[in-house]
Structure 1
């Protein structure tokens, strides 16, 4: 807690902002990988419901590479009564640094195609192609809201937009 803050948590601040500025879009993250355990899924859903009640209008998911899992997660959210928009967090892997981060820090499983890239140029092609396939498959499942984790890489954003619009 910040000694200079009147709020003891982000939820308190969210409630205040929602009361003062009800049209403000307040965003929070959500964690679709919570679906791997019933306990962690229920904890995530409970936390999301608390955030939504405080004033969250949009959830942005952490990155994921398993579309089926994400669609199931959204279905769980809707079944639990969560009405806020849930944006799919898509991260096109475009360089070795990002690949290392996803594999070693986040411990997420990636398709073998990423391992075959011998340089960043090949990796960018594979990563953008994978992200475009991921987006198009999600759109077929009724997912229409996306957030691109592109680390201020405008070129990658343009490639994604050109590929899905």
Structure 2
């Protein structure tokens, strides 16, 4: 089996204790030599400042290639592009451009009076600035707000035509879900790399909420397995086995890169990577 390249997603800390947790997560996963790491935005842009601070800290203290998330929720065009410029000033030129989730309590995305109307418009503006590599999100099981799977693929193509050069998918539970999506993208003329997003499940209740929010189908066999594992207190073992099997199937199907949603809990991700043959190398942490 070919050993894949990997990347990891972190989220910005809300507290001092969470800051230590993020740093522990980075220390644990950096030796696996990720192609890049990314730092998310919270719903409604609520972590905008903390995201920038986390990105700047990672840039200063590690040699890890960093992808900074950028959304257009609750911000003017000028405010959004100022953050983009601040990333560039910090030496970060890889952006994950997303429309962003609505603020907590809101059902739908609401355009700021002076803001970007869509992710396509945001991507176009970032691309016009030059010097940026732009990634976008993709939904193997169709975005909850899309009118149809075909419309969702068409919108992904619009984002790529606006200047994005790769896509990272939402998580899914079965390899065939990704393969069918990849085939539809190819049929639509999409040729950029599409990286599958993998979620090692540390908390089954949380995973079910995430799945519901993004319309991710949960196979009955997996739901039943987790319900049984929770009774036996063996969820970590099950999560590692299922994520490893999913990754194995993806690799056998031609996937050469896996993107892990760590939720700042690195242990399961590390175990899955080790099972796939992704072993520690020289640390990417800078030596003072």
Residues of 1 paired with 2:205 and 2:240: CA distance?
15
Structure 1: how far apart are the matches of 2:212 and 2:150?
Answer: 27
Q: Secondary structure at the match of 2:230?
A: coil
Give the 3-state SS of the residue equivalent to 1:14 in structure 2. helix
Q: Indicate whether 1:139 and 2:247 are aligned.
A: no
User: Which sections of structure 2, spanning at least 5 residues, go unmatched?
Assistant: 1-110, 278-288
Counterpart position of 2:112: 2
Paired residue for 1:122? 234
Q: 1:98 aligns with which of 194, 206, 209?
A: 206
Alignment correspondent of 1:86 = 194
Question: Where does structure 1 differ by over 6 angstroms across 4 or more consecutive aligned residues?
Answer: none
TM norm structure 2: 0.50
CA distance in 2, matches of 1:101, 1:124: 18
How far is the alpha carbon of 1:121 from its aligned partner? Answer: 4.8
By how many angstroms is 1:2 displaced? Answer: 2.7
Question: Aligned residue for 2:93?
Answer: none
45-54 or 142-151, larger mean C-alpha shift: 142-151
Out of 141, 156, 174, the position equivalent to 1:48 is: 156
**Higher Cα radius of gyration:** 2
Partner Cα distance (1:136, 1:84) in 2:
22
1:61 aligns with 2:169: yes
Confirm or deny that 1:164 pairs with 2:276.
yes
Judging changes above 3 Å, is the alpha-carbon distance between structure 1 residues 113 and 102 closer, same or farther for their aligned structure 2 residues?
farther
Gapped runs of 5+ residues in structure 1?
none
Greater share of residues in helix: 1
How far apart are the structure 1 equivalents of 2:167 and 2:232?
31
Number of residue pairs matched by the alignment = 160
Give the whole-Å Cα distance in 2 for the aligned partners of 1:148 and 1:84. Answer: 19
Higher relative contact order (CA 8 A, sep 6+): 2
Aligned equivalent of 2:121 = 12
Separation in structure 1 between the aligned mates of residue 250 and residue 274 of structure 2, nearest angstrom: 17
Deviation of 1:107 (Å): 6.0
Which residue does 1:108 correspond to in 2?
Answer: 217
Normalising by structure 1, report the TM-score.
0.84
Q: CA RMSD in A?
A: 2.4
1:72 and 2:184 aligned: no
Aligned 8 A contact 2:119 2:159 in 1: no
Residue deviations 1:100-147 (CA, integer Å, cap 9, x gap): 425665563232322211359511110111001100111000012221
